[in-house]
């Protein structure tokens, strides 16, 4: 039986959280939690120990890059996928240098999310960026 993932979505946009949740439900993820900023994401990451986190970069309060840094310090094995509309090379490099598993360009598509989930289930390394 295929492993089912626990996923945490962190995005300040209610629309993105809703759309990503719908996609993850299609992908049959087991448990889907939401966080609307970096502070809540750090807290929820500690509590639920997700298999995968989708993290927006530009957010009020604690942004995604700062949240990524703290999450990686706490648990370097966590898989965090950064999602941004500004997929510049410098953003990509910064995220991967800090230990991000992958990087996806918004708008988020079913194909991009499916590819990442399959990779996580297979236990593959996340060096391939979908920019």
Place of tokens 């209610």: 14
* Residue 2 in the binding site for other proteins (CB under 8 A): no
3-state secondary structure of 102: strand
Structure tokens at 42: 């750090």
- Judged by CB, which is closer to other proteins: 54, or 79? 54
For other proteins, how many residues bind (rule: CB under 8 A)? 18
Site for other proteins in 104-123 (CB under 8 A): 106-107
Choice between 58 and 98, CB closer to other proteins: 58
The footprint of other proteins on residues 18-57 (CB under 8 A) is: 18
Using N-to-C axis directions, what is the helix angle for 110-122 and 14-26, rounded to 10°?
A: 60
Residue (of 130, 66, 60, 62) closest to 95 by Cα position: 66
Residues lying near other proteins in the complex (CB under 8 A) are found at 12-16, 18, 58-60, 84-90, 106-107
């Amino acid at each position: 039986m295929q492993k089912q993932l626990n996923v945490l979505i962190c995005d300040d946009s209610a629309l993105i959280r809703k759309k990503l949740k719908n996609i993850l439900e299609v992908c049959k993820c087991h448990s889907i939690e939401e966080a609307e900023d970096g502070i809540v994401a750090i807290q929820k990451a500690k509590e639920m120990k997700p298999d995968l986190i989708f993290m927006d970069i530009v957010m009020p309060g604690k942004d995604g890059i700062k949240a990524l840094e703290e999450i990686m310090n706490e648990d370097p094995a966590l898989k965090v996928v950064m999602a941004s509309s500004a997929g510049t090379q410098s953003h990509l490099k910064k995220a991967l240098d800090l230990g991000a598993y992958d990087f996806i360009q918004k708008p988020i598509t079913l194909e991009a999310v499916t590819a990442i989930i399959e990779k996580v289930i297979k236990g593959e390394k996340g060096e391939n960026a979908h920019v």
